[in-house]
Amino acid sequence: MTGARPCAAKKRRARERGGGVGGGGAAAEAAPRRERRPVEAAAGSMSWAPAAGRTLAALLLVASALSATLLAPGGSVERGPESAPPRDLDQKRRVELKMDQALLLVHNELLGTHLTVYWNSERCYHCLPQVLVNVSGSGGPGKLSTAVVAVSTQHRSILQLRDTAEDKEVCRLEYKFGEFGNYSLLVKHAHSGGSGTACDLVVNQNPVDSNLPVCIAFLVGLAVVIAVCFLRFLLSLDDFSNWISKAMSSRETDRLINSELGSPSRADQLGDDAQPEVWRPSAAPLRLRCVDTFRGLALILMVFVNYGGGKYWYFKHASWNGLTVADLVFPWFVFIMGTSIFLSMSSMLQRGCSKFRLLGKVAWRSFLLICIGIIVVNPNYCLGPLSWDKVRLPGVLQRLGVTYFVVAVLELLFTKPVPERGAWEGRCSSLQDIVSSWPQWLFILMLESIWLALTFFLPVPGCPTGYLGPGGIGDLGKYPNCTGGAAGYIDRLLLGEDHIYQHPSSTVLYHTRVAYDPEGILGTINSIVMAFLGVQAGKILLYYKEQTKDILIRFTAWCCFLGLISVALTKISENEGFIPVNKNLWSVSYVTTLSSFAFFILLILYPTVDVKGVWTGTPFFYPGMNSILVYVGHEVFRNYFPFQWRLQDNQSHKEHLIQNIVATALWVLIAYVLYKKKVFWKI
């Protein structure tokens, strides 16, 4: 989340730039290569009874011990002779590699022909090729002129070799380099004896499997889930349960005896007439665990990707169009916030709370969210003490605050009492959740019309009208200062360039030069639309309460309907559609796609968690019950031990992944303890 990177923004940006190739990049600095071992990391935990806390703590201890073992001396080794460049290269020409890089040696056998090697990533759409390295001509027959350079391994690379003097293409190739691999590109005359040129790519040293730690972490987590499910199955068997009860009966007897013969009980201290020490709160309305579970799932993924996600590219935001894991979590959180708005507001109105008092609570909560976002969770703290001259005004919590206020007020103004079962009869009974909200739908459609009109018809100085591109070197470098089109222009015009996000994800591949905020003003319109679709999910859950089949049918219908809209808008293409899926713009296709996914997740969670009770939602349920505390806490304490520590090898995906998994598991454990202590931070 771009709004959730207070002090690591500049460091992370520098690392990401080091992971790619562009500009005039040649040799890159990095740490020595390390020994590659499989990583076993605890990726999650589940609990099922009062022993859940001990289970979570045990899994956390296992993960911490495992990380300590892997970080112990001997986990990394210096680069040995087997990984060194060929002997004909002197020390000045050696290149040390960072993560997501490989070593490329370009050998030029062409006599007197100077070459310029251009590089591009297949994910960089319509980008200007960037100069990678220059190679001088061969000094004579049999003599090779060699240049050494680091290349990115995140995506498939496109290499183009051109004759520097005549500016003509010599050869072109596409290849997916592997991390820490060693490759040679030999440019020579074709064997046929003609004037043609051949470019042969040879693997000098095989790369490592950089995705192995993720696979192992996933398998470990899957094994834990299977083990817990199997244990739950055993506990459901009467014979096994009776055996466990008999085994524990002696301990329980000893505990009761010690309690009676030991120190006085709390009731004795309060007097003979005192009530038992167990305090039972008044009965609360039934909560849908699937909603809290979904919120917790989105939140835990958010914490993991904000902490770095092992520094893997698919756990970072997409550079422009397309989706990664990091692009899923924020819209899901917005969606489930909309669901909670309707459920909680309906509950409060049924308990007799006046609309005027509820409006005051909505306004106060929105104000607090915006203030926390600007003052507490602000990425400009990495530049020193917060200054109003450079403070970032948009952000994640700011957008949540505005979205919450608009959607909650909209529902408060037009909401109607939830009808009793059977109250809706006739041809509209199957659409009661939609028909009863026609004023809200009209307002949402008007908002979306405003987004479309501003996006595609607002004139932007120096840019084509309706531009949706990243600027920079995209679109062959024609519009370098047009990042985001109308969305970026509105933010710079109304907020000022110094008060928006300075390091957007588009800088990694597209080398954009202007500030752009993914949580800007225009995108907030579509976040409101996303939250309202979440409200629609809440209405389905409440209007068709205890009608599981009807609920599942409607979740399926919305999932398919929104999915078809996404297909039509994108043409099932990352870049060629009418409106591509784009998190930076919060495009309408992005909203419909992620909303379709959200309805699908509810389609799975509702019967699994609330109807059948097959899964309790553990461990995601606990952070879902304390979402604001976990989000703000993980941002404030992100650079503190034990959430972060000094790594032995900063260029190791393995070590970053262990650190990020342990930090995320810690927040799950904290949320569990707070849940058991009945501590909830509500604003």
- Per-10-residue mean pLDDT for the chain, 683 residues long? 45 40 36 35 38 48 46 38 40 72 91 90 92 86 86 93 89 93 90 73 92 92 86 76 66 45 40 39 62 94 93 93 94 95 90 89 94 80 69 92 96 81 57 84 96 96 94 92 95 92 91 93 96 95 89 95 96 93 96 97 94 89 92 90 90 93 95 92 82
In the residue annotation, 126 being an active-site residue is answered as: no
Both structure tokens of 656: 């970053």
The string over 516-533, giving b where at least 16 C-beta atoms fall within 10 Å of a residue's C-beta and e elsewhere, is bbbbbbbbbbbbbbbbbb
- Other C-beta atoms closer than 10 Å to the C-beta of 432 total 18
The pLDDT, as a whole number, for residue 418 is 74
- Looking at 458-520, list the stretches that DSSP marks H as alpha helix, in order from N- to C-terminal side: 486-494, 506-510
Q: Is 29 helix (H, G, I), strand (E, B) or coil?
A: coil
In the set 155, 317, 503, 653, the catalytic residue is 317
CA distances from 213 to 59, 74, 242, 253, 557 (A): 18, 18, 41, 47, 38
What residues contact residue 504 under an 8 Å CB cut-off, 6+ apart?
2, 483, 512, 515, 516, 517, 518, 584
pTM: 0.81
Q: Which of 632, 636, 631, 663 is nearest to 647 (CA)?
A: 663
Q: Per residue, what are the HEC states of 69-100? A: HHHCCCCCCCCCHHHCCCCCCCHHHCCCCCCC
The pLDDT, as a whole number, for residue 397 is 93
Both structure tokens of 618: 């553990």
Cross-strand partners of 173:
159
Crossing angle between the packed helical segments 548-570 and 588-605, to the nearest 10 degrees: 150
The pLDDT, as a whole number, for residue 143 is 81
Exposed, middle or buried by CB within 10 Å (0-12, 13-18, 19+), for 505?
Answer: buried
Instruction: Calculate ∠ Cα 285-290-292, nearest 5°.
Output: 70
HSE, side-chain direction, 13 A CA sphere, residue 443: 16
The pLDDT, as a whole number, for residue 236 is 75
DSSP assignments along 248-299, one per residue: HHHHHHHHHHHHHHSSPPHHHHH-TTPPPS---PPPPPPP-HHHHHHHHHHH
Cα-Cα-Cα-Cα dihedral of 131, 132, 137, 140, to 10°?
-170
Cis, bond preceding 619 (omega within 30 deg of 0)? yes
